[in-house]
Structure 1
Amino acid sequence: MPSFIERFRAHRRRVVATALATVVAASGLTLGTTAVPSAAHVDDSSLSWTPCPGVPEPSLGLECTTVTVPLDYAKPAGEKIEIAVSRLPSTNPARRRGVLLLNIGGQGDSQAALPLALVSLGLPASVRETYDLIEFDPRGIGRSTPLTCNLRPDQAATLIPPPYARTAADVNQRAADARQIAEQCAQSGTAHLLPYITNTNVARDMDRIRQALGEQRISYLGYSHGTYLGTLYAALFPKRTDRMVFDSVSGLGGLDAVGARRWGLGFELRFPDFARWAASQDATYGLGATPAQVRTRWLQIVDNLDQAPVAGISGAALRAMTYGMLFNDSIFPALASALQALAAGQAPQLPPPPAGGDFSGMLALVCNSPGWSRDIDTYQRHVAVDRLRYPLFGPAAASVWPCAFWPAKPEPRVDISKAGSSTILLVNNLRDPATPYVGAVELHRTLGARSRLVTADQGGHLSYLFGNNTCAKNLETTFLVDGKRPSRDTFCPSA
């Protein structure tokens, strides 16, 4: 049986899958990694769509194919790789406007069934009529040509985010572990792919998908790190964009060193939502009658587990689990039940983890971004500072990633401030633990009049279809369907 740490480290794959778990279970969809049949292999001149493997209901209409792209865009005639693409056709071809590319953000496995999952979450019929829904697995990930670092289970379990560092010695130990992961990436059988698994190349792949689909322009709905991919596309291909929605904005650099460190801030802003909810349920869970008492109780449980782990569960593991379970209000009862059990010295009853997934490709996208320090003393200082500023999770968010030892050079920065699409809608929850609101403000300030910002007064990661703010949902739907952005930045009160 997998250990608690293996099951509930707050990997992006796991937290996204948790948010979708009820929908997927109800609809019978499979979001796991599955090879694409060779019959779907195509070149840029035509596409041959086949039923998606791993999706048990072909009648739902999801189709799959691959698009061939250069590994190195500086050598377009050189080695080629495959980008896996899925499509859910428009429900009304007569009213179809074009295609809506989708990206859920950080992922470790294929999200081919994402269009169906969004429909099950309540994607409006008007959006279904307006677009073919197009999912793509970024290069190196899922059903696209994969990258692997041959991660052991214990390495995968502590990859994203790093373990909470209580002391300077913990940071040094994490540095040693991160170095080993980076070395494995450099020595794997797919190491020659490493320099080319970059965010800018993913944006270029998106334009190859557009060409292969025969579209003059694309619309885009990107979540989390996917907002950065969309930002790059809008800067590099401004004449090829239609309506661009960036939901849960990861800031100017996506999941880079700045974005990762902000998770400490995000946890601190989001935890009070859980504490208020748990206080209202004190008769059931016994975690405290006020938010302050719940916070104190949580810290006591963490400290107790650091002194005497329960069923192998340490305080660091509980911090990581809590972070992942703050992503959606619907997960609060499971978190409260786990805390109740741990407080009693019992192993919590937890749902099984999603199957499959390899974050090697996502790690390459992150570590090929510019800005990662290679000086371990820098991480020691950041951890020490964030231990005081964001004590709940800062020493995890600020600790050492394998990027500190990454074998490839970082990709050049793309200047997004001077040119690009002017049809961009930014949407962010005020209390998002993974993409704190400051990132949306930062990007909006950089884009200026080219963007509008919708602020949703709610917590959790991912807004459109994942949250309960009707105002924000309606504004996103109106923009996607009618192309009408708010005339000014808009604040959407809590529901």
Structure 2
Amino acid sequence: MTTYRRNALLLALSAATVAAALPAATASAAGTASAPGSGLAWRNCAVAGGPAGQECADLSVPLDYREPAGRQVTIAVSRIKSTRPEARRGTLMVIPGGPGSSGVQRLTQKGARLAQETGGAYDLVAFDPRGVGGSTRANCGLDAADRYMVTLRSWPGADGSIEDNVARSKRIAEACRRNGGPVLDSLTTHNQARDLDRLREALGEERISAWGTSYGTYVAAVYAQKFPQRTDRWVLDSSADPNPKRVAQGWMRDMARGADDRFPDFAAWAAHPDRAGDGLRLADRPEDVRPLFIALAARLDTTPVPSTTPGVEVNGNVLRQALQNSLYSDSAFPGLARLIKAAQDPAAADDPARRPALPPQLTQPMSDEDAAITVGVICNDVRWTGSVPAYRRAVAADRAVHPLTAGLPANITPCSFWKAPAEKPTRLTDEGPSNILMVQSLRDPSTPYTSGLKMRAALGDKARLVTVDQGGHGLYLGNGNACTDTTVTRFLLTGERPEQDTTCAN
């Protein structure tokens, strides 16, 4: 799994208070102030298998935009220059998801294809948000046991209890408060938008275009709200509900609906007769796959089986997390079916050769820096609501309605023990240029269609929506829908959008 996809899955996480924090700026105009050392010294950073001619640089930005000449942090930047000066019309920013995904890595992965699609019309530019990759990092000093995906995420106990989640959330929040420092406190969507504008300025561009995916759509939308005069052609790919009262807490809750929307695609695939030849057919009928999965997860809750990784078992929550990972793309379906088959095997407990194999992201802890950014942004952006008893009730209700996610989306996180954010979230409006194209899957496991419609409503006439009758997360140049690719590319090249909201068939 790429870093982009792994971190897109971690929207449901949380973070911690920082005792010695420097609050971020409250005025968007601070993002355009000049500061020493804002130039870019480019160096070659092309890698084998990546785009030819990829360059990298470091950009200095203020830790606190209220003190633009004060302490600076470093933002890692990458670009692929247009090789056709006569065709070049500007710069296209590639804004990754997460929070916690690397823009530099995203450009390495998608840059060659994007350059081909756009035919040299743009310099392609991306950056690692503060806290990510080659940019200035933060640390929480978390124990390794708290940095596994299935522990950093608040999966309830087998019986639906959340006591372990409460204790872990408090422990993570306290560690981040103790160790995070002002850098952790600066990890916010507001500052990512300001850093993006500082990069625009350093590039010498009056306006920029953008392609934001997943959480990156929220960053892009916030930027367009703060700096509307700086936007050119704006693509939001797989958007979530921008409700400023909830932000990431709402995104987390929406994941239950997303899993329910998407699972039928996997069920149809897993019940298809073509799977029999690979030994991956799970049932004769698609409608039998869901109860099979739910029953297997319940059995593993009480009787886990060893995996091929010593000391790591496949319990119910590991299987559920594997499902969440796999729903992002049809290409992950075979691996999920293989895991289910192996976990069903009664000989797996005693025969090492028949034990299920898990992907690395489920068998080892993430780095402390990755854990810090994952929880930092979503907790710093908005105050998470609800008492422990309220979470307990919400988890019980969610488990009953959405057994595939077993109460995770409604559960408590470290954000519940975080201090109040330094700034209020941005309220998105329909004010500004009408230059946004949205693409949204009907069956998205992370940002469900109903959530995307709320972004569409917030943007009003600024946007046009392309509804894609396909499953998965991240559509442009991602899930193989030719109509989507053609529509987005045409917009980037010509500015042409559908006159009204439209649909792309599967």
**Which category of TM-score, normalised to the shorter sequence, fits these structures?**
0.7 to 0.9
Q: Give the CA deviation at 1:285.
A: 2.3
Change (3 A) 1:300 1:340: same
Q: Which amino acid aligns with 1:147?
A: A
Q: Which amino acid aligns with 1:362?
A: T
Asked if the contact 1:100–1:219 (Cα under 8 Å) also holds between the matched residues in 2, the reply is yes
Q: Which amino acid aligns with 2:283?
A: G
Q: Within 5 A, what are the aligned runs for 1:438-449?
A: 438-449=450-461
1:316 aligned counterpart, secondary structure: helix
1:211 aligned counterpart, secondary structure: helix
Q: Give the CA deviation at 1:296.
A: 1.7
Change (3 A) 1:91 1:382: farther
Write the deviation string for residues 64-93 of structure 1: whole angstroms up to 9, x where unpaired. Answer: 111111111122222111111111111312
Q: Give the CA deviation at 1:59.
A: 7.8
Change (3 A) 1:391 1:352: closer
Change (3 A) 1:45 1:107: closer
Q: Give the CA deviation at 1:186.
A: 0.9
Q: TM-score, normalised on structure 1?
A: 0.87
Equivalent position of 2:225 in the other structure: 235
Equivalent position of 2:331 in the other structure: 330
Of 406-415 and 267-276, more deviation after overlay is shown by 406-415
2:78 aligned counterpart, secondary structure: strand
Asked if the contact 1:90–1:129 (Cα under 8 Å) also holds between the matched residues in 2, the reply is yes
Q: Which amino acid aligns with 1:49?
A: W
Asked if the contact 1:429–1:458 (Cα under 8 Å) also holds between the matched residues in 2, the reply is yes
Change (3 A) 1:59 1:75: closer
Q: Give the CA deviation at 1:152.
A: 3.0
CA distance in 1 between counterparts of 2:269 and 2:82 reads 40
1:209 aligned counterpart, secondary structure: helix
CA distance in 1 between counterparts of 2:448 and 2:384 reads 20
Q: Within 5 A, what are the aligned runs for 1:34-433?
A: 44-52=37-45, 55-56=47-48, 60-106=52-98, 108=100, 110-119=102-111, 122-123=113-114, 125-157=116-148, 158=150, 161-167=153-159, 170-188=161-179, 190-253=180-243, 256-281=248-273, 283=276, 284-311=279-306, 312-345=313-346, 346=348, 347-353=355-361, 358-407=370-419, 409=421, 411-417=423-429, 419-433=431-445
Change (3 A) 1:164 1:276: farther
Write the deviation string for residues 232-251 of structure 1: whole angstroms up to 9, x where unpaired. Answer: 00000000000110100022
Asked if the contact 1:11–1:161 (Cα under 8 Å) also holds between the matched residues in 2, the reply is no
CA distance in 1 between counterparts of 2:202 and 2:264 reads 47
Change (3 A) 1:426 1:44: farther
Change (3 A) 1:294 1:475: same
Equivalent position of 1:5 in the other structure: none
Of 172-181 and 210-219, more deviation after overlay is shown by 172-181
Q: Give the CA deviation at 1:417.
A: 1.4
Q: Give the CA deviation at 1:451.
A: 0.3
Q: TM-score, normalised on structure 2?
A: 0.85
Asked if the contact 1:51–1:58 (Cα under 8 Å) also holds between the matched residues in 2, the reply is no
Of 346-355 and 105-114, more deviation after overlay is shown by 346-355
CA distance in 2 between counterparts of 1:107 and 1:440 reads 18
Q: Which amino acid aligns with 2:128?
A: D
| Structure 1 unaligned blocks of 5 or more | 1-7, 18-41
CA distance in 1 between counterparts of 2:38 and 2:122 reads 21
Change (3 A) 1:195 1:107: closer
Q: Which amino acid aligns with 2:44?
A: P
Equivalent position of 2:466 in the other structure: 454
Write the deviation string for residues 124-166 of structure 1: whole angstroms up to 9, x where unpaired. Answer: 6241411111111111222111111123332121355321444
CA distance in 1 between counterparts of 2:484 and 2:4 reads 24
Write the deviation string for residues 412-444 of structure 1: whole angstroms up to 9, x where unpaired. Answer: 122221533421111111000011111211011
Change (3 A) 1:482 1:359: farther
Of 86-95 and 347-356, more deviation after overlay is shown by 347-356
Of 334-343 and 56-65, more deviation after overlay is shown by 56-65
Q: Give the CA deviation at 1:350.
A: 4.0
Change (3 A) 1:181 1:67: same
Asked if the contact 1:242–1:423 (Cα under 8 Å) also holds between the matched residues in 2, the reply is yes
Of 146-155 and 274-283, more deviation after overlay is shown by 146-155
Change (3 A) 1:159 1:373: farther
1:358 aligned counterpart, secondary structure: helix
Q: Give the CA deviation at 1:12.
A: 6.2
2:114 aligned counterpart, secondary structure: coil
Asked if the contact 1:374–1:405 (Cα under 8 Å) also holds between the matched residues in 2, the reply is no
2:323 aligned counterpart, secondary structure: helix
Q: Which amino acid aligns with 1:288?
A: A
Q: Give the CA deviation at 1:194.
A: 2.9
Q: Which amino acid aligns with 1:208?
A: R
Q: Give the CA deviation at 1:481.
A: 1.1
Change (3 A) 1:399 1:301: same
The count of corresponding residues between Structure 1 and Structure 2 is 458
CA distance in 2 between counterparts of 1:167 and 1:413 reads 35
